[in-house]
Amino acid sequence: MTVLFYTILTLSVLGILSAVILYFVASKFKVEEDPRIDEVEKMLPGANCGGCGFAGCRGMADALVKQEDISTLYCPVGGADSMKSVASYLGKVAPEKEPMVATVRCGGVCAKRPRTNEYNGSKSCAVVASFYVGETACAYGCLGYGDCAEACAFDAIKINPETGIVEIEPDKCTACGACVKACPKHVIELRKKWVKNRAVYVSCVSKDNGAVTMKACKAGCIGCGKCAKVCAFDAITIEGGLAYIDSQKCKLCRKCVNECPTGAIALKGMEPLPKEPKAPAAKPAEKVVEPKAEVNKESVNEQK
């Protein structure tokens, strides 16, 4: 009984003594931190994705509070709403950036881009890109092992086993840019986000000449330049046998989509323009948006 009593007594005295020491040490060496940092951190999404360039949301919050001019800081995940609330809390001017979305610029689905060999090694795009062309003959397109999907903190990227290329869900994508960095082939690009996830982009990054591109993939851009000629907004440039649509200049008029002989220009969230130039241009495009593009194509053909 006495043993028990002394044990409890010793430990209690030790505990109280330590508490007193800790109390004085803590008050002596107290780190004064701006309480606003905690508040700002709460306003940020808390994804710690690194999309802003800082290691995590705390680092971003710290910079937002300490920097006079916050126009260079931007949280792509929280977007304009989160930046506005932070700015109004801190009494600073909110940086403005239009919403962006990651876009996979490769249309080399299995049907159009035949497999030329079977890969049996480590399933990683970075490893494959470091030593060979990949399972198809195209040296530029999506490899489909999903390094980007692994890098995505928002579960927005999935490998589609039927097409062999990755797909991004625009609604989940926060444009943090992690996938852009992860892709060794530089296939993914951050492009301007339109309402209803509308998009027009060249779904190919092959810099090969036309003949080589076509041999490797039926959906590749051959750099013929037809799209650039038809573009009224000067948004399309042809460089090194590859067309590129500037998402800032593009007005989604969709003229280029019909011009492309290989179908390399992808159209998302909208119906294509009718193929025949004489047909009343506005009518089919104004139709109620149907879920599947194929359905509408058929109806356009019927009208002809």
Partner 1 sequence: MKTFPIGGVHPSDNKEWSCNKSIEVLELPDVVNIPLAQHIGAPATAKVAKGDKVLTGQLIAEATGFMSANIHSPISGTVTAVDMQPNGQGMRQMMITIKREGDEWMPEIDRSSEIKRQCSLESAEIISKIKQAGIVGMGGATFPTHVKLSIPDGCKAEYLIINGVECEPYLTSDYRTMLERGEELLVGVEILKKALNVEKAIVGVENNKPDAIALLRKIVKEKNFAVVIEPLKVQYPQGGEKQLIAAVTGREVPPPPGLPIHVGAVVCNASTTLAVYEAVQKNKPLIERVVTITGKQLKEPRNLLTRMGTPIATLVEKAGGLPEGDVKVVNGGPMMGRAMVNIDSPVTKGCSGVTVYSGSEVYRMEPSACIKCAKCIEACPMALEPYLISKLAKKQMWDRLEEEHITDCIECGCCQFTCPAGIALLDYVRLGKQTVMGIIRARAAANAPKK
Which residues contact partner 1 by CB under 8 A?
116-118, 120-122, 124, 126-127, 130-134, 137, 139, 208-209, 212
User: One-letter amino acid identity for 194?
Assistant: W
Strands 188-192 and 166-168: unpaired
Query: 95 or 134, CB closer to partner 1?
Result: 134
The answer to whether the beta carbons of residues 264 and 203 sit under 8 Å apart is yes
What contacts 24+ positions apart, CB below 8 Å, involve 268-276? Answer: 268/197, 268/198, 268/199, 268/200, 269/194, 269/196, 269/197, 269/198, 269/199, 270/198, 270/200, 271/296, 272/296, 272/297, 272/300, 274/300, 274/303, 275/300, 275/304, 276/304
Between 184 and 284, CB nearer to partner 1:
184
In the complex, least distance from residue 143 CB atom to partner 1, rounded to whole angstroms: 12
**Degrees to nearest 5, angle at CA 87 with 247 and 40:** 110
Which CB atom, from 211 or from 232, has the smaller least distance to partner 1?
A: 211
Q: Which is nearer to partner 1, 23 or 132 (CB)?
A: 132
Q: Is 235 left (phi over 0), alpha (psi -120 to 50) or beta?
A: alpha
Minimal distance in Å, beta carbon 130 to partner 1?
5
Q: How far is the CB of 52 from partner 1 (least distance, A)?
A: 20
* Cβ neighbours, 10 Å, residue 271: 20
Q: Nearer Cβ to partner 1, position 10 or 209?
A: 209
Q: Smallest distance, Å, CB 166 to partner 1?
A: 19
Q: How far is the CB of 215 from partner 1 (least distance, A)?
A: 10
Q: What is the token pair recorded at 300?
A: 């356009």
Q: Least distance to partner 1 from the beta carbon of 266, Å?
A: 24
Q: Which is nearer to partner 1, 35 or 121 (CB)?
A: 121
- Minimum distance between the CB of residue 138 and partner 1, rounded to whole angstroms? 9
User: Cβ closer to partner 1: 130 or 248?
Assistant: 130
* Rounded CA Rg of the chain: 27
C-beta of 78 vs 144, nearer to partner 1:
144
The CB-of-297 to partner 1 minimum distance in angstroms stands at 35
